[in-house]
A and B are shown apart, each in its own frame.
Chain A
Amino acid sequence: MIALENVTRKFGSFTAVDDLSMSVPKGQVLGFLGPNGAGKTTTMRMISGYLSPTSGKITVCGFDVLENPVEVKKRIGYMPEGAPSYADMTPLGFLDFIAEARGLDGSAKERALDRVIGEISLSSVLYQPIDTLSKGYKRRVGLAQALIHDPDVLILDEPTEGLDPNQKREIRSLIHRIKESKAIVISTHVLEEVEALCSRVVIIDKGKIVLDDTPTALLAMSSAHQTVYVAVPDFQRDRVSALFEEMQQVSVIEDHPDSKGTHLYALKPETAESVVADLVEALRLQNVKICDLYVEKGRLEEVFYAFTSSEKDVSKGEK
């Protein structure tokens, strides 16, 4: 539904987005990651029609952003960075204006307002000036504004930034509910969100895509992927150490005392196959009590860092 072809955007001599191509089909939730200044916001602004690309082509639902801006804007719900809204207005007045500007009228408008106010739980603050609302509510108003016309394409620039964990959860479940029928692009700095929400991750750095894959594949790139953590009672430590030494499938990368008289081992499997069953079996044969056991899925942070930090370190060194 969204297609970018060789899109470049320059601000003077600075290239914010550099020959970027990607497409987002219906039903996909794309997590757009990158360090600050990587070009995420610029890209989203170009899709939404706020900025025009210096070169390249962007189409949304088959309409070219430059040739048919109004048709494109009709189909997009866009929440700009920081979720701006008119501070003097009430949420109801504001949403009413957006609905009318989006061509909704009469009973269709009433229905849209009811739906979005219910979905985003805004009913308790409808008549307070937006100025006086908490950050969480302001952001919800921004989100409601983007959803009011039930758009095919949803572009959200850091939708959960500044929200408390409960509010984040609500927004995530909302996106889960509506994602089937839409193409959604979300930029975020919260990496856990990507795992929870997105079916695809694109990491950009300096205006270029450095990685484009599923969150699971990304996690698998992490060095911590598949690391098994086992906690055993302190007094059985010697026996366990000896056992792990013998086992071919794993190597101990770390071990240190855990809480409450237990000792924690971090084991790196040597093969791609799961070693958990073998481990449990071996420990049981030795009559070792397993106090805790978990497998690390991988750390997005680590992958993110690996893909976006290398060149930066070099430039820091030069300075």
Chain B
Amino acid sequence: MRSLAVVTKRELSGYFTTPVAWIFLIIFVALSGILTFYAGDFFGRGQADLQSFFLFHPWLYVFLISAVSMRMWAEERRSGTIELLMTLPLSTADLVLGKFFAAWIFVGAGLVLTCPIWWTVNYLGSPDNGVILMSYLASFLIAGTFLSVGSCLSACTKSQIVAFVLTMMACILLTFLGSDALTNAFSGMATEKMLKLLNSFGFLVHYLSITRGVLDLRDIVFFTSFDAVFLFATVIVLERKKAA
């Protein structure tokens, strides 16, 4: 536990010593606001809720999370500091989890910074704050899952750009699963059962069901087990690089 805390602390401080972190936070807060008011037509809907705010989060994350996660391992590998990390008396799992938690906390900080919009909607009307809280949770969960995907792909390469593009593609695919467009594209190739299975992996479906205020334990399990799988895969990728 202690080693995990040490790694998380160092990674977290690593985010804030670079201007990239501040740029990320500013862009995240600004874009989420812009999308809510313009694309989401916050005022036009005439509803005291934040659906138009949370609707765009997965799409924002596709770009922004990929940008956060790309440096996780690729940068360590490029600068050679990975050699330092891997020869410290820490387990690979500590390193992977530490980096993941640091990134997750960092993105969480970005989410916290969007709270003015929560105040705004409370000032304008009386929204269901329980739903909003749940939506924040959903947004945080989906961010974590994207990060775990990014962690794994970043461990595969030395190049941050490659990690960025791969993560973005993977996240787009995962988000799109279960959408009509993708279901139609696959319908010719797969049986009904396989399609159903494929659709059940769609992030958007699970995400939207929480943001509508239906907090199903299964949705939480879905996201966290996805995290576990990809973080475990990260450990395996790193361990394999030792031998190959």
Contact = CB atoms under 8 A, between A and B. Distances in A.
A308 interface: no
A102 to B, nearest CB: 6
A172 B169 CA distance: 52
For the side of the interface on B, what is the size category?
A: 20 to 34
Contacts of B10: 97, 101
Interface stretch (A76-84, A116-124, A213-221): A76-84
Nearest to B98: A101
A85 B81 contact: yes
Contacts of B81: 84-86
B243 A84 contact: no
Given A52-B242, A82-B80, A97-B10, A103 B89 contact: yes
A85 B17 contact: no
A98 B9 CA distance: 12
Contact of B87 (A11, A49, A71, A87): A49
B86 A88 contact: no
Interface string B210-244: 00000000000000000000000000000000111
Contacts of A84: 79-81, 83-84
Interface in A13-27: none
A80 B6 contact: no
A98 B88 contact: yes
Interface in A159-176: none
Interface string B94-127: 0000000000000000000000000000000000
A88 B18 contact: yes
Given A80-B80, A93-B13, A101 B7 contact: yes
B47 interface: no
B12 to A, nearest CB: 11
Contacts of B187: none
Interface string A86-114: 11110001000110111100000000000
B85 to A, nearest CB: 8
Nearest to B78: A84
A45 B83 contact: yes
A73 interface: yes
A48 B87 contact: yes
B98 to A, nearest CB: 10
A74 interface: yes
Nearest to A145: B84
B79 A50 contact: no
B88 A101 contact: yes
Nearest to A99: B6
Contacts of B7: 101
A304 to B, nearest CB: 27
Given A73-B89, A97-B10, A103-B2, 10 more contacts: A45-B83, A51-B243, A70-B91, A84-B83, A85-B84, A88-B18, A97-B6, A98-B88, A101-B3, A102-B89
Interface of A: 11, 45, 48-52, 54, 70-71, 73-74, 76, 78, 80-82, 84-89, 93, 97-98, 100-103, 129, 145
Interface of B: 2-3, 6-7, 9-10, 13-14, 17-18, 79-81, 83-84, 86-91, 242-244
27 contacts: A11-B244, A49-B87, A51-B242, A51-B243, A52-B242, A70-B89, A73-B88, A73-B89, A74-B89, A80-B80, A80-B83, A80-B84, A80-B87, A82-B80, A84-B81, A86-B14, A88-B14, A88-B18, A89-B13, A89-B14, A97-B9, A100-B6, A100-B9, A101-B7, A103-B2, A103-B89, A145-B84
Q: 9 shortest A-B CB distances, which residue pairs? A: A84-B80, A73-B89, A80-B83, A88-B17, A74-B89, A48-B87, A100-B6, A97-B10, A101-B88
